[in-house]
Amino acid sequence: MSERAQFATKMGVIATSVGSAVGLGNIWRFPYEAGVHGGGAFILIYILCVLLLGIPVIIAEFVIGRSTHKNANSAIKLLAPGSKFRYVSYIGIIASVMILSFYSVVAGWILEYLFQSIIGNLNGHTSQEYSEMFNSLTGSPWRSVLWTTLFLGANFFILRKGVQKGIERISNLLMPILFLLLLLFCVNSLLLPNAQKGIEFMFRPDFTQISPSMIVGAMGQAFFSLSLGLTCLLTYASYFNDKTPLVKSATIIAILDTFVAILAGIIIFPAVFSFGAEPTAGPKLVFEILPNIFQQMPGGYLWSIAFFILLFFASITSTISMSEIFITFCTEEYRMSRKKATRINIAIALVLGTLCALSFNSLSHITLFDKTVFDLFDYISSNIMLPAGGFILAVFVGWVMNKNIVKKQLTNNGELNVRTMRPILFCIKYVAPIAIVVIFLYVIGFFDYVSTLLF
Ligand code: PFF
């Protein structure tokens, strides 16, 4: 069928996709989004989005990728010649570059925190001082740009040397360790004074918090965290072999990813209330809370170093998967060399990433809709482009693609008995596309407009 490489083992499939999914989205973005949007109700809607939109769209991406063994553009050309649906690959490429840019800024902060941990500077300060430490990092143009550049440099090196498979293998060994570390930190957080308040904040939903911006935020977070809607998982699925169980793999990926996010919440929120901080702090939340947590743990110096190293690996397996979207497209569609595609990808990310890093300091006055460049990149890519991409992919698989091919993919040519097939197809065809459109209409105020017309 194709001479492209394929994943050798079942573990390879899951581990690589989980490597892409688990990253800063779970440990940095999830707690801050949940904090900004009031906790429990956000988390509940987030979980609904993962179940009703996330898993079906992962499966849609898997079906397209595995049935063709091609990148999104060629895959859709093959499945539906002449169809405009293939333009979804452009959404994916643009979104992947935007995400790579602001993600590298945050990963740069992780590198600085690793550095500060190693030199022993992350210990022995007050909450106020930790807050100032973060502000001084993001407030300094040269430091933010330096760390962003170093992180992108590491990416470039890995992609350029073609050692990403090696990095993924190391990361696959490290991820279970990260997992164990998170479990341990959870226990530690649960033992903090006032921990119960944090747990209530997470698990007792306050439905008065529900708003259009919260719902679109939960949907965007689900897509971001699952690396969904930008054909990243489609590209990975093009390397799956015919034995990979798509439904089962998608479910495992979604469960693991959500589990890591919830663990991060259980680490952060009890600590937020214990240290008298504000859950609504935004992007700086985990950077202010984590040092407080480490310093009250016995052996905190080592824990913090281990944690930031592991988080660095989790981030880099995510950014490799972002770059792969761009690189696979350029090499397969334009016959560009891998080296050149990598150079272009990282060069664009460096320019845009610098703008994102500077949006906390020299360029903080440049805003659009009250958002800085960093916030705008994050908002547009996560909350608009990824769900839009997910909508197009779900409609394509649900309505355009040949039904027999879809069913054969889900059952591995009839070998598997997939009991959830009907609800999954129903979600791909109706629930996911309709929910995404309704949420978009809700956020632009369409329903308020209609109700003013009616009443
Ligand atoms: N899912 C990643 C995370 O949660 O950190 C972020 C991400 C990776 C988004 C790859 C998009 C992507 F294509």
Per-residue pLDDT of 249-278, as tens digits, reads 999 999 999 999 999 999 999 999 999 999
The predicted pLDDT at position 160 comes to: 87
Taking the C-alpha atoms of residue 251 and residue 233, their distance in angstroms, rounded to an integer, is 13
The predicted pLDDT at position 259 comes to: 97
Which band of pLDDT confidence, cut at 50, 70 and 90, is reported for residue 1? very low
Atom of ligand 1 nearest to the CA of 92: 13
Taking the C-alpha atoms of residue 177 and residue 450, their distance in angstroms, rounded to an integer, is 52
Per-residue pLDDT of 61-106, as tens digits, reads 999 999 999 999 999 999 999 999 999 999 999 999 999 999 999 9
The 10 Å Cβ neighbour count of residue 400 is 12
How far, in Å, is the centroid of ligand 1 from the Cα of 6?
Answer: 22
Taking the C-alpha atoms of residue 5 and residue 97, their distance in angstroms, rounded to an integer, is 25
∠ CA 244-178-193 to the nearest 5 degrees? 130
> Position 170: which residue type?
I
| Residue minimizing CA distance to atom 12 of ligand 1 | 227
How many angstroms separate the Cα of 37 from the Cα of each of 33, 45, 96, 262, 448? 6, 11, 25, 15, 21
Taking the C-alpha atoms of residue 261 and residue 30, their distance in angstroms, rounded to an integer, is 6
Angle between helix axes 195-203 and 164-190 (nearest 10 degrees) is 120
Mean pLDDT score, 8-37: 88
Taking the C-alpha atoms of residue 263 and residue 324, their distance in angstroms, rounded to an integer, is 28
Per-residue pLDDT of 321-361, as tens digits, reads 999 999 999 999 999 999 999 999 999 999 999 999 999 99
Mean pLDDT score, 362-380: 95
How far, in Å, is the centroid of ligand 1 from the Cα of 448?
Answer: 33
∠ CA 20-326-149 to the nearest 5 degrees? 75
Probe ligand 1: pick from 88, 224, 231, max atoms within 8 Å of CB? 224
Per-residue pLDDT of 163-187, as tens digits, reads 667 777 777 788 889 999 999 999 9
Angle between helix axes 195-203 and 40-49 (nearest 10 degrees) is 40
| Residue minimizing CA distance to atom 10 of ligand 1 | 227
Angle between helix axes 246-274 and 10-21 (nearest 10 degrees) is 40
Probe ligand 1: pick from 20, 33, 91, 384, max atoms within 8 Å of CB? 20
Atom of ligand 1 nearest to the CA of 26: 4
Which band of pLDDT confidence, cut at 50, 70 and 90, is reported for residue 112? very high
- Read off the tokens for 16: 């690589």
Residue 198, pLDDT > 60, answer yes
Q: Is 109 exposed, middle or buried (0-12, 13-18, 19+ CB in 10 A)?
A: buried
How far, in Å, is the centroid of ligand 1 from the Cα of 256?
Answer: 14
∠ CA 290-291-295 to the nearest 5 degrees? 120
CA dihedral 348, 353, 354, 360 (to 10 degrees): 160
How far, in Å, is the centroid of ligand 1 from the Cα of 343?
Answer: 21
Q: Which residues line ligand 1 (CB under 6 A)?
A: 20-21, 23-26, 96, 99, 224-225, 227, 230, 232, 318, 321-322
What do you get for the CA distance between the two ends of the chain, in Å? 60
How far, in Å, is the centroid of ligand 1 from the Cα of 197?
Answer: 30
Helix (H) or strand (E) holding 411: helix 403-411
| Residue minimizing CA distance to atom 9 of ligand 1 | 227
- Read off the tokens for 232: 């990243």
How many angstroms separate the Cα of 413 from the Cα of each of 83, 181, 402? 26, 40, 14
pTM value? Answer: 0.95
Q: Which residues of 373-384 are buried (b: 16+ CB within 10 A; e: fewer)?
A: bbbbbbbbbbbb
Mean pLDDT of all residues belonging to the chain: 93
Probe ligand 1: pick from 322, 381, 393, max atoms within 8 Å of CB? 322
Nearest to 198 by CA among 283, 271, 149, 94: 271
**Going by C-beta distance under 8 Å and a sequence separation of 6 or more, which residues neighbour residue 451?**
none
How far, in Å, is the centroid of ligand 1 from the Cα of 25?
Answer: 6
Probe ligand 1: pick from 313, 321, 328, 381, max atoms within 8 Å of CB? 321
368 DSSP β-pair partners: 371
**Going by C-beta distance under 8 Å and a sequence separation of 6 or more, which residues neighbour residue 287?**
28, 109, 113, 130, 134
Which band of pLDDT confidence, cut at 50, 70 and 90, is reported for residue 221? very high
Spatial contact of 238 and 79, defined as CB atoms under 8 Å apart: no
